[in-house]
Homo-oligomer: A and B are copies of this chain.
C-alpha cells in the first residue's frame, strides 16, 4: 500500500497539465527525458516509502536529545539520511558542476513531495543544507566554495540559515548579532540566534551556518544587515577542521517535528568566532530575499506532504473500517455493516481532503515549473513573466500549503474518529508536525503582507495583471467545453470578486485608510489562494473531461448507465471522474463563498483597530 502521495495525480500534474517532458526541449535539459523523470519519481517514492516513512513515528517518539552542547537526532534517522545523500537527492536540481544532478526544479519538487509526506523532520536536515549551499554557490568566493560547498551539496556537511533572534523574528531588521572586521577580510561574529532548524545535530561532522549580522557602524534596520558564512568547524589552510566558537545552548521542546533539532546557537562566546562575508556589506536582506522563494516553496511542500499522507491514510482507513449501515437502511438493525467510506459525511470529508490536496499540489508544482521556465527563458520578457508568476505564487503556496494542509490533517483525524486522536495511528502526528509550517519562514500573516504590500504593487501591478491575463486566456479556452459551464460561471464570479478587492486595496493604499489592506491582508491572501486553486481546477477538469470523453468513446459508453459501469471497472476513467469531482467540489463548496469574502473585506470594518486595548478584555 502506497499511502504517501497519489502518484497518478502527481503525474497528471507533471505530464498532462504542465507537460514537464517538454522542458527537455531546452538545451539545459536536452539530456533528460520523461523516462528519466519517471525513474527519479519511482526511486524517490521507493526511498520515501522504505526508509523515510518507517522512521517517522520513531523519530517523533524518540525526538532530539540535547546533552552538554551536543544534539543527538533520533538514531533511526542516520541510515535514511545517508541513503538520501548517497542517492544525490540533496542536489537533484543543481548544476552538475557543483555535484548536482541537474534535473528541472519541477521534477525535483515532485520528488520532494514523497519525502515531505514520509518524514518531514528528517527532510529538514538536507533541505536546510541545500539552501545554505545555494547561497554559497551564488555569493561565495571560489576559495570558500572549494572548502565548504561541495561537501554541503553532497550532504557530507550540514547547513543552516540563522536569522531569528529573541527580539527579531518577523522583525528581522531589529537583529543584534554583530560582525567586527578583523582586518584580513574576515569578521568576528558575536551574538545569539534562536529557533535554528538543524542548528546542531550529529548527522554530519560539520555544519555551515549562514548568519545574518550587523557590521559595526552599519545602518539600523534591514539596510544594515549583512550575511556571513560561519562554519561550526573552520577548514584551515592545511585542510584541518578547527573549532570556530559556535555553541549550542539548548533545543526547543515542540508540539511536533520532534526529530528536527531546533537550536539556540551562541556565536563567539569566547570571542573566537570567524565569519566570511557573503556578497557585499549591508546586502544581507537582499540576498536572503533571493533565497527565500526556495525556502517558502519548501515549506508549502511541507504542508502538502502532511496533507497528502493524511488524506491517503484516512482514505484507506475509511475503506477498511467497518461501522454503521448504509444510509438507506439506517433504521434496520439487521442491515449489514459497511465501510465508513459509504457514509455521506465521510465522503464529504474525503472530498474536501482530496480537493484541497490536489488543488495545492497543482499550485506548488506550477510554481516549480515557472521557476524552470524563468531559468530557461529565451527573452527577458519571458523571464520576467515567469519570474513574476513565481513571486506572486510564493506567498500563496506557502500560506495555503500550510493552512490548508493543517485543515486536511485535522479532517483526517476526524475521519479516524477517536482512534485518530491516539498515537496508534499516524494522523495526529501529521497534525502536530504540520502546524509549524504556518509559523516559520515568515508567519502566514507575513506572507499576506508580502502579497499585499510588495507583490501586488510590484512593477506597477504587472505581476497581478499578467495573472489576470493568463486566467482570462485559459478560461476562454475552457469555455469551449459546455459541460464546464456551471463551474466556469462560479469561477468567473469569484475571480471578479478578487479583482474588485485588489482594485479596492489599490485605492485604499493611497489614502489615509491604508490600514485597511493591512488589516484584511490575510483574508485577501486566502481569497487569492481560493481563486488560484479554482483556476488550477478548471485547467485540470478541462483536461480530465476530454480524456474521460475519449475513454467513453473508446468503450462505446454512450448513456449514463454504461458510463457509470465503465467508471467502476476502468481505473483511468475513475481517476478522471475523481478529478472532475474535485473541481466541482472546489467550485461549489469554496468559490461560492468568494463574493461574500470580498464583501466582508470591502466593508472595511476598522473596529478591530479602533477599539482601545482594554476593549479586547478587561483582564
Contact = CB atoms under 8 A, between A and B. Distances in A.
Interface string A552-583: 00000000000010011001001101101100
Interface stretch (A32-40, A180-188, A416-424, A460-468): A416-424
Q: What's the number of copies of this chain in the assembled complex?
A: 2
Interface in A476-498: none
Nearest to A422: B252
* A-side interface size class: 35 or more
Interface stretch (A94-102, A142-150, A163-171, A500-508): A163-171
B312 A617 contact: yes
Contact of A348 (B220, B522, B611): B522
Contacts of A221: 332-334
Contacts of A241: none
Contact of A608 (B167, B440, B575, B581): B581
Main secondary structure of the interface of A (DSSP, over half): helix
A617 B520 CA distance: 36
A593 to B, nearest CB: 4
Contacts of A230: none
Best-surrounded residue of A9, A608, A613, A619 (most CB of chain B within 10 A):
A608
Contacts of A222: 333
B348 A578 contact: no
Best-surrounded residue of A254, A521, A523 (most CB of chain B within 10 A):
A254
18 contacts: A7-B619, A169-B418, A171-B324, A195-B418, A224-B333, A254-B422, A312-B617, A344-B515, A345-B522, A347-B608, A410-B435, A418-B440, A575-B614, A580-B607, A584-B605, A584-B607, A592-B599, A596-B596
Interface of A: 1-3, 6-9, 164, 167-171, 173-174, 195, 219-224, 252-256, 311-312, 315-316, 319, 322-325, 327, 332-334, 337, 341, 343-351, 354, 406, 410, 413-414, 417-418, 420-424, 428, 431-432, 435-436, 438-440, 443-445, 448-449, 514-515, 518-523, 564, 567-568, 571, 574-575, 577-578, 580-581, 584-585, 588-590, 592-597, 599-600, 603, 605, 607-619
